[in-house]
A = this chain, B = another copy of it.
Amino acid sequence: MDKFRVIEGGGEKRDVRQTMLAIGHAARRAARKLALAPRQRKNAALMVAAAHLRTSARDIVAANARDMEAAAKAGASKANLDRLMLNEARIESMAKGLEDIAALPDPVGKVLATFERPNGLKIERVATPLGVVGVIYESRPNVTADAGALCLKAGNAAILRGGSDSFHSSTMIHACLVEGLRDAGLPEDAIQLVPTRDRAAVGELLAGLAGNVDVIVPRGGKSLVARVQEDARVPVFAHLEGIVHVYIDGAADLEKAKRIVLNAKMRRTGVCGAAETLLVDRAAADTMLAPLTKMLLDAGCEVRGDAATRAVDPRVKEANEEDWRTEYLDAVIAAKVVNGVDEAIDHIETHGSHHTDCIVTERAATAERFLTEVDSAIVLHNASTQFADGGEFGFGGEIGISTGRMHARGPVGLEQLCSFNYRVRGDGQTRA
């Protein structure tokens, strides 16, 4: 049943380094073809891959069962097992995801800017593919489909390195993607799955495969991202953590504040856009701190507060310095009273992670100061931080969220998976 390819040469297994270098070269060759592939062909590949996912659902579930069994034996946590698990509904959702990506406008060839020079030269900046994208992920096997499809749509070759615990599941999903590529007449190497569980493969990928990887996207926990950020010799689209703040200004509307804080913290606690720290303006301490704190406690959220917050409810625990820089990813929030928007901005710039931060206020000037001065990838006024998501931004999907400042920042969608070049049209102009 295993369809994964083991690269062999001269009758003997090559080592991981040679395997990975060969993958890199193949990806570069495929990327060159993919860059010029018409959108119909890319979309056809996605549609056929989606159909194959559906018809292979049983085989995928069977492969997944092998992964689940091994993971359970190895003592994986319930949360990990849930991330790993595939059933018919999740496979259908993956297939639907591919179709949704096929339906998006093609980002390649989009004219991003045009300008005409006094000498008559017409200059266009046009979106082109980035090249080769390396994706390193953990348990979730659906990343194989999602990431592979987004890269393909943007005309990039993808090198996917899934978690070793999802190896059989990812291999089956990858086989469906390859069926799509083949059927559409696109190079099969356009989406490659690293065919070994050897961890040395990750090191090779991070080293850039002799110039054949243009960017790496890690998808997983903090330790994975930290390792990638530390060791990669090529650009990385990632965020290490989302220490997300909601600041309730003195001029906030209490009902809006309650709605936003509850959603920002409790809608899903394990996502990077979940609030981790609540800052309340001293001017609102008397009127809003108590109802917001009680609301969170009543919703089952642990609150770790400064003295002022502890004073409003005995259930509030004492926050220490560490709490201001902790991404709980759980039903826990740190809470603190600050002296107005200045101290709020100061706190966020000192303790935050430049991911997503929010102000709740009815005073437009204060909101504008916050939006201008907080140096985060996403800053919001009167809206939940859980909107930090490419889908919610209308990007039709995302490969991740970046807190880097180069090329991509915030949700990384199709547009950010592209580069650009300049096309200059003249009529014989020469430079003086």
Contacts and interface: CB of A to CB of B under 8 A. Distances in A.
A376 B380 CA distance: 38
A61 interface: no
A259 interface: yes
A410 interface: yes
28 contacts: A117-B392, A117-B394, A123-B393, A214-B405, A214-B406, A256-B428, A259-B428, A260-B428, A263-B430, A267-B430, A367-B425, A371-B423, A378-B424, A379-B423, A379-B424, A380-B426, A381-B424, A381-B426, A382-B426, A383-B425, A383-B428, A383-B429, A384-B431, A393-B422, A406-B419, A409-B421, A410-B421, A410-B422
A172 B54 CA distance: 70
A377 interface: yes
Contact of A378 (B367, B422, B429): B422
A36 interface: yes
Given A117-B392, A394-B117, A378 B421 contact: yes
A35 interface: yes
Nearest to A237: B406
A399 interface: no
A239 to B, nearest CB: 13
Interface of A: 32, 35-36, 109, 115, 117, 121, 123, 128, 130-131, 214-215, 233, 235, 253, 255-256, 259-260, 262-264, 267, 349, 367, 371-373, 375-384, 386-387, 389, 392-394, 405-407, 409-411, 419-431
Given A259-B428, A380-B424, A431-B263, A406 B407 contact: yes
A406 B376 CA distance: 20
Given A376-B421, A384-B430, 7 more contacts: A117-B392, A128-B375, A130-B405, A263-B431, A382-B428, A387-B426, A389-B431
Contacts of A130: 405-406
A375 B424 CA distance: 14
Contacts of A407: 406-407
Contacts of A36: 372-373
A428 to B, nearest CB: 4
A32 B352 CA distance: 14
Contacts of A32: 349, 375
Copies in the complex: 2
A384 B422 contact: no
The 6 tightest CB contacts between A and B, nearest first, are A383-B426, A263-B430, A256-B428, A407-B407, A405-B419, A380-B424
B256 A406 contact: no
Contact of A394 (B115, B263, B264): B115
A262 B389 CA distance: 52
Among A128, A411, A431, the one with the most B-chain Cβ atoms within 10 Å of its Cβ is A431
Given A419-B406, A419-B409, A35 B383 contact: no
A377 B421 contact: yes
Contacts of A259: 428, 430
Contacts of A121: 383, 387, 392
Contacts of A378: 421-422, 424
A111 B411 CA distance: 17
A150 B233 CA distance: 28
Given A384-B430, A387-B431, A431-B263, A420 B424 contact: no
Given A256-B428, A349-B32, A421 B381 contact: no
Contacts of A349: 32
Nearest to A372: B36
Name which of A115, A259, A405 has the most chain B CB atoms within 10 A of its CB.
Answer: A405
Contacts of A123: 393-394
A35 to B, nearest CB: 7
